[in-house]
Amino acid sequence: MDHKPIIVSGATNQVGYFLLHRLLDAGYPIHAISRTNQAAQKVQHKLITWQQIDFLGKGKVLNASAAQHFLHLAPIWLLNDIIDNLYEADIRRIIAISSTSRYSKVGSANSAEQEMVQKIMAAENSLVEKCDKFGIKWTLLRPTMIYGCGMDRNVTVIAHFIKRFGFFPLVGIGCGCRQPVHADDVALACFAILNCTATYGRAYNLTGGQTLTFREMVEGIFQGLGKKTRIVSIPKYLVFFLMRCAALIPSYRHINPEMMERVNRDICFDSSDARQDFGYSPRGFHYE
């Protein structure tokens, strides 16, 4: 098939890992953007041209002859400064990954989470405004908790904790509902909407195919690891003490009290419009 090249930013993250293979299988030439020069060692193919760009605002990203589609998998706030340049380079279709965190963390007492929510909201608003101004066909995808290939900071962090300590602590019973979504299902959504006119100028929440409590999700991780489930419900003050201790380990430094409070709060979204517009059909939760 004679496909025009596609630019993919954030190509080495967990969604990019699956999306690159989907695009290659369909015969698309790809200009893949990554911050590191080791990126090309991960996925090598005659249809991929790798570009090492640490900050997407210098115009280098436009080195992609005949490309008309731009798939932005990197943090959405990195996109705004280059939309003008994308338009000048004849990009007429932008698909961007955002996050349902813009809703679920709005009332967070954590300053870092507040800042992130503001950045996401401002970036989304700017994307819509600029694309509408230039006549660029945009689509926003807001996944819930992404997992799938060991790069996330939610499911994978829980799995690492279990492997390291043999148990998992919860404030209360972990009754808050979650809809973890596999990274490949997000990649499939990106692929499905490339030329889907029904998705132009729309934003979609992408949930996983199963709603389960936080506790059930943790139990599933234990099962996937082949370990006996050991979940300990402990007082809030003790969990926060354990968090301060865990923060001494680099991979757990991002954990904050707000995250532990949310395990008993429902964080659920509706993805029926995605199912209707482009046949979105995500898998249920399975950790392996």
Kindly write down the DSSP assignment for every residue of 18-70, as one continuous string: HHHHHHHHTT--EEEEESSTTGGGTS--TTEEEEE-SSTTSSGGG--TT--EE
pLDDT of residue 260: 75
Q: Is residue 285 part of a domain?
A: no
Domain membership of residue 70 as a residue range: 6-148+181-209+268-278
Question: Structural domain tally of the chain?
Answer: 2
Domain shared by 221 and 139, yes or no = no
Per-residue pLDDT of the chain (288 residues; tens, 9 = 90+): 558 899 999 999 999 999 999 999 999 999 998 877 665 556 778 889 888 776 554 545 556 677 889 999 999 999 988 898 889 888 999 999 999 999 998 888 878 889 999 999 999 999 999 999 999 999 999 999 999 988 898 999 899 989 999 999 888 899 999 999 999 999 999 999 999 999 999 999 999 999 999 999 999 999 999 999 999 988 877 777 776 676 666 666 666 667 777 889 999 999 999 999 999 999 999 998
pLDDT of residue 236: 75
Domain shared by 34 and 118, yes or no = yes
State which H helix or E strand residue 129 sits in. helix 111-134
Domain shared by 35 and 142, yes or no = yes
pLDDT of residue 206: 98
Domain shared by 117 and 190, yes or no = yes
Q: Is residue 288 part of a domain?
A: no
pLDDT of residue 19: 97
Domain shared by 41 and 132, yes or no = yes
